[in-house]
Structure 1
């Protein structure tokens, strides 16, 4: 489990643990070995591999499970099958968000409040002068960030957290019962397609959109841009070597082969104005970007 020391700000460096991995051949040597073994195991133990990929066998205490997952991801990387990678992540988080929130609950105090809240303070000042009716947190996790925001924007009456794990949402409903917070189970993009409206701020924290396809992130931003007086506040991770000034594409990256998106470019393309941008790099290799944008 990471400690507070592992989230300290570090110099700007390219870290191979969190760099872009376009194909298995670009992965570090030890990871390539795990890929090769995993692909063989996935072929030999096909039933087990199918269960891991579909999400019916999520937790992986056994080394075989971890190797098989590596083999499945290696095949998807080799075939440049981003949809398959996305589905692997989606199947995982639809069942594991509750456990993650329990294991990493310290991140609110040791990461968000220490390092990332500065971006939201820019948002709070913006909404001192502009009307805000709804705050929607995509991938709300344990709800602590949404609760914090609800305490800072008194004029806003609707705070909704969306998460793909029904167990996580049920736990939040029980924990925050009686508060001005609503929690919904579902896919964030599907929900937004029917619920997006004016005077709304979309928000993510801790890495959420990294599990969405390039086209899905574009659609989320465009849905928000179709409404008046909308804003987006993001706390996301990107590849340690992703050049956000020049490279506008999306790439698999890091330990779990999530997607490194150029959020600045995609927001500008959707017509948003960047009000705040900052980033920090951490001892564990993570590179975090914090963005607040308005339309």
Structure 2
């Protein structure tokens, strides 16, 4: 029996058991599927075997959404509410298990890029800061930068972060829409960082966001964002739907270049469930 055949049999057994459990435990099924984003991203380590089987079935039965405006609204509504804070708690271990081993290389490259710059960057802004661990980490990695701002839609999470990291005087956390904050407070000589955040922007809004940042002059942008593994930027230069949430797989090189940025780094790494992690280093045009 081939590995592929065994995998299909295991999947069929999991679906059958999951269906039975969803039927027998309707209250738990409703609880698990209360919010589709939480359902997709919940940490399976915190679930029992039965709950994992139920989740597997529920995720695969999620109704497909095709309307981009509806998707964007659902995503924004989620990240503003308390469910987002619960998700940040459930995924705290990702800082150690995913970010540190897989993503920090881009910041080593950023150090090299900064060493070749005559411009001094005095502020680093993380859009979608979540639980704040990455911003806190970056404040120790870039000691010459004296201001680190974490922006997030969740007021509750921002309040938690300000308390949790109160001893680090370089950090400040702000509850705001990213584009609104850039328009009111954005300045040049700033490094912007995102992780798994730009996937929630509609393509026109993301283009406007990049345009607005480039207008500040003397900015650098580090983007660590997911793409669908089937998204070929050459054959499909526009954004497309990705995943079960769903969110958007954007053509980041095109959008950055459209905004007037120069790319000094582009790479991709395969991740689980058929996705790709894209790493972008972009800077202002001299």
TM-score, length basis structure 2: 0.75
Instruction: Check if 1:192 corresponds to 2:182.
Output: yes
Unaligned runs of 5+ in 2: 1-14, 16-33, 37-41, 43-50
Map 1:153-232 → 2, pairs under 5 A: 153-179=142-168, 180-205=170-195, 207-232=196-221
Runs of 4+ in 1 over 3 A off after TM superposition: none
SS of 1:242's equivalent in the other structure is coil
Question: Corresponding residue for 2:247?
Answer: 258
Number of corresponding residues:
232
CA apart distance, 1:145: 0.9
**Distance in 1, Cα, partners of 2:113 & 2:184:** 26
The normalised TM-score by structure 1 is 0.73
2:94 aligned residue? 107
Shift of 1:102: 1.1
Task: Determine the C-alpha separation between the residues in 2 that align with 1:283 and 1:83.
Answer: 27
Q: 2:78 matched to which residue of 1?
A: 92
Structure 2 residue 96 is the aligned partner of structure 1 residue 125: no
Are residues 1:293 and 2:282 paired? yes
Give, in whole Å, the separation in 2 of the partners of 1:266 and 1:136: 20
Specify the SS of the correspondent of 2:111.
helix
Q: Distance in 1 between matches of 2:87 and 2:272?
A: 21
Q: Aligned-pair distance for 1:52?
A: 6.7
Distance 1:52 1:105 in 2: 19
State the distance in 1 between where 2:163 and 2:114 align: 29
1:97, CA displacement in angstroms?
2.4
Secondary structure of 1:204's aligned partner: strand
What is the rounded CA distance, in whole Å, between the counterparts of 1:177 and 1:232 in structure 2? 26
d(CA) in 2 for partners of 1:149 and 1:247? 34
Cα RMSD over matched residues? 2.4
1:82 to 46, 68, 91: 68
Displacement of 1:234 in angstroms is 0.6
CA distance in structure 2 between the partners assigned to 1:245 and 1:111 by the alignment: 29
- Is this contact kept in 1: 2:228–2:274, CA < 8 A? no
User: Per the alignment, in what secondary structure is the counterpart of residue 104 of structure 2?
Assistant: helix
User: Using the alignment, how far apart are the partners of 2:177 and 2:204 within structure 1?
Assistant: 15
Residues 124 and 152, structure 1, Cα contact 8 Å, conserved in 2 = no
Q: Kindly state the Cα deviation for residue 247 of structure 1 after the two structures are TM-superposed.
A: 2.1
Larger Rg: 2
The residue that corresponds to 1:149 in the other structure is 138
Q: Tell me which residue corresponds to 1:44.
A: none
CA shift, 1:264, in A, is 0.8
CA distance in 1, matches of 2:272, 2:103: 16
Residues 142 and 168 of structure 1 are in contact (CA less than 8 Å); yes or no, is this contact kept in structure 2?
yes
* 1:209 shift after superposition: 0.6
Answer whether contact 1:120 1:292 (CA < 8 A) is retained: no
Gapped runs of 5+ residues in structure 1? 1-29, 31-50, 54-58
